[in-house]
């Protein structure tokens, strides 16, 4: 009979993980190119055509805040194009304490445009006294010629 060591559940799980690891060297992923929060490839295909995706913290307040803004949590029913093995027991796609959510592209673009328009209007109404303050940053608005017309307020690659 082999002597058994009494250890905590965490230590037992860690021992199982270490024992089940491959013994040989495996290829190393470049940390600069690997991002654990990349959305699944199936979602990337629809990302700029139909939906906008983002990760929402699993905190109840953050989920409610996202739902209030119109974001929907991806699940097996509303996202059948995502492989079922990526979903957790609760039905959502989870990574590192965050859930994948989506918003229809038209709604996302409207929200982004409204935020840009609001910011542009706020900058237009600054008085000369405020502009003389050294802490004031005067952003260049508009197109390359410096005109305010044609300014969309959109920034590529920026989420809201």
Contact at 8 Å (CB) between 40 and 74? Answer: no
Q: How many domains does the chain have?
A: 1
Give 12 or 59, the one with higher predicted confidence: 59
Give 19 or 74, the one with higher predicted confidence: 74
In a domain, 5, yes or no: no
pLDDT score for 56: 92
Q: Which domain holds residue 57?
A: 34-107
How confident is the model over 102-107, as a mean pLDDT?
A: 90
In a domain, 134, yes or no: no
For residue 5, pLDDT over 80 is answered with no
CB atoms within 10 A of CB 107: 14
Q: In whole angstroms, what is the distance from residue 72 CA to residue 64 CA?
A: 10
The pTM score is 0.57
Q: Which residue has the tokens 């502009």?
A: 131
In a domain, 124, yes or no: no
In a domain, 69, yes or no: yes
Q: Which residues are registered as beta bridge partners of 4? A: none
How confident is the model over 91-108, as a mean pLDDT?
A: 88
């Amino acid at each position: 009979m082999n002597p058994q060591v009494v250890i905590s559940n965490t230590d037992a799980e860690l021992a199982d993980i270490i024992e089940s690891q491959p013994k040989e060297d495996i290829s190393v992923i470049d940390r600069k190119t690997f991002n654990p929060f990349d959305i699944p490839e199936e979602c990337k295909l629809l990302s700029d055509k139909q939906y906008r995706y983002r990760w929402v913290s699993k905190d109840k307040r953050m989920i409610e805040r996202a739902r209030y803004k119109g974001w929907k949590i991806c699940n097996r029913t509303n996202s059948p194009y995502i492989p079922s093995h990526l979903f957790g027991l609760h039905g959502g796609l989870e990574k590192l304490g965050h859930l994948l959510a989506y918003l229809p592209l038209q709604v996302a673009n409207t929200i982004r445009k409204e935020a840009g328009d609001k910011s542009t209007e706020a900058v237009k109404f600054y008085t000369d006294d405020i502009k003389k303050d050294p802490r004031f940053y005067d952003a260049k608005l508009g197109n390359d010629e410096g005109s305010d017309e044609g300014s969309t307020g959109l920034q590529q690659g920026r989420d809201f």
